[in-house]
C-alpha cells in the first residue's frame, strides 16, 4: 500500500514529512521520494522523532526521518535536485 506524505526540509541526510499515520521511533521505512521532475529516488529511512500537530493542522503528525540506505546514483540525483535553483 502506498501512502503519500508531504515532504519538507529534505537534505542528503533525511527529511521531515507530515503524515496522518503515526510511526514509532526507530521504525524502518522504505520510501520513494518523488523529485520535481516526477522521477523517484528509492530510500530506506529510520524514524528519529515524531511530533503531534495541533488540531486543524495539515496532518496529525510531523515525522523526522534519517536516510539509512540510498543507492549511489540516487544520492547523485538527489544532490543535483537539492543544489539546483528552484
Hey, which residues does 16 pair with through a beta bridge?
8, 64
What is residue 80's predicted lDDT score, i.e. its pLDDT?
86
| Torsion angle defined by CA atoms of residues 81, 47, 27 and 58, in that order, rounded to the nearest 10 degrees | -90
What is residue 82's predicted lDDT score, i.e. its pLDDT?
83
- For the chain, the domains span 6-83
Q: What is the mean pLDDT of residues 26-51?
A: 92
Pure H helices in 32-83: 72-83
CA distance 40 to 85: 19
Topology given in CATH for the domain delimited by 6-83: Thrombin, subunit H (2.40.10)
Distance, C-alpha 82 to centroid of its chain: 14
* pLDDT tens string 46-71: 999 999 999 999 889 999 999 999 99
What is residue 1's predicted lDDT score, i.e. its pLDDT?
39
CA distance 65 to 67: 6
Q: What is the mean pLDDT of residues 10-26?
A: 92
What is residue 6's predicted lDDT score, i.e. its pLDDT?
65
pLDDT at 3 over 70: no
What is residue 4's predicted lDDT score, i.e. its pLDDT?
53
pTM score, whole prediction: 0.84
Amino acid at each position: 500500500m502506498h501512502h503519500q506524505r508531504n515532504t519538507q526540509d529534505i537534505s542528503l541526510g533525511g527529511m521531515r514529512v507530515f503524515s496522518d499515520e503515526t510511526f514509532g521511533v526507530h521504525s524502518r521505512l522504505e520510501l520513494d521520494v518523488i523529485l520535481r521532475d516526477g522521477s523517484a529516488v528509492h530510500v530506506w529511512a529510520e524514524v528519529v522523532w515524531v511530533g503531534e500537530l495541533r488540531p486543524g493542522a495539515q496532518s496529525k503528525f510531523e515525522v523526522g526521518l534519517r536516510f539509512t540506505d540510498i543507492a549511489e546514483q540516487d544520492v547523485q540525483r538527489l544532490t543535483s535536485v537539492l543544489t539546483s535553483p528552484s
